[in-house]
Amino acid sequence: MSILDKIYKWLDDRFKLRDLLPPIVKHPAPEYAVTNPLYCLGGIAFLCFLILVGTGIFLAMYYKPTPLEAYKSVENIMTAVPMGSLVRSIHHWAANTMIAAVMLHMMRIYFMGAYKKPRELNWVVGVTLLLITTTFGFSGYLLPWDQLSFWATKIGTGIAGSLPIIGQYISLLLMGGSDIGNETMTRFFAIHVLILPATIAILLGLHFAMIRIQGISGRL
């Protein structure tokens, strides 16, 4: 008996995996979802999220979220940390791919009418995931603390601050003051590595649960 078999048996004796896993693993997917690549967009986005979590943990071990050290720590990751440049590049491209995949996934859902009854609530969750995904990308933009990051964040927070009624509060919440500084970086870092990943994980669990219960829509 191999080590993996022993681990599985140990877990099975305690959690009855033999009864729990088959209905999940062997759940059949409709043929139209298997043969049409458009139905893979959600899975691609989820795979990118997993890659972002793994590479993000690696980057967080070396990154220093302060205006004085942020750029130097990123430079250190790119030049001195073993495989740091590769991991950061994977993180960067996985983020872009995730945003594109989520947007295309939402377009597929919309044009195929898969948001209609009884999947209205899942559509709302999906739209929320799209907004959070774009916020994910924006919150990570400031972290390298170079000129491009600074001015892109300046413009982004300015746009958020121009919203009627709530704009000034959103701007204050994001920047922690009247201008971009140390408080801004701390908040963006906390949003990027704590708040957004936890929120996405919860919403993904809800999203997958509703798909499992309601099935994959084949509307055209």
**7 belongs to a structural domain:** no
Give SS3 for 202.
helix
Tokens 């509703």, residue located: 210
CATH number at residue 120: 1.20.810.10
Q: Is the dihedral of CA 179, 181, 182, 187 positive or negative?
A: positive
Q: Is residue 11 included in any domain, yes or no?
A: no
Residue-range definition of the domain harbouring residue 90: 34-214
Q: Is residue 15 part of a domain?
A: no
Q: How far apart are CA 56 and CA 216, in angstroms?
A: 31
**Which amino acid is residue 179, in one-letter code?**
D
Question: Are residues 40 and 62 in contact, defined by beta-carbon separation less than 8 angstroms?
Answer: no
Cβ pair 63, 77 in contact under 8 A: yes
Residue 14 lies in a domain: no
Residue 219 has pLDDT above 70, yes or no: no
pLDDT, residue 44, reads 96
Domain count, the chain: 1
Residue 13 lies in a domain: no
Q: In this predicted model, what pLDDT tens digit does every residue of 81-101 receive, in sequence order?
A: 999 999 999 999 999 999 999
Residue 170's pLDDT band (cuts 50, 70, 90):
confident
The C-alpha atoms of residue 17 and residue 19 are separated, in whole angstroms, by: 5
Residues in the chain: 220
Query: Residue 1: pLDDT above 70?
Result: no
What are the pLDDT digits (tens) for 23-79? 766 777 777 777 888 899 999 999 999 999 999 999 999 999 988 899 999 999 999
Please check whether residue 219 lies inside any domain of the structure.
Answer: no
199 falls within a domain: yes
What is the residue-averaged pLDDT of the chain? 89
182-190 and 167-175 helices cross at what angle (nearest 10)?
Answer: 90
* Residue-level pLDDT at 218: 67
**Does 3 fall in a domain?**
no
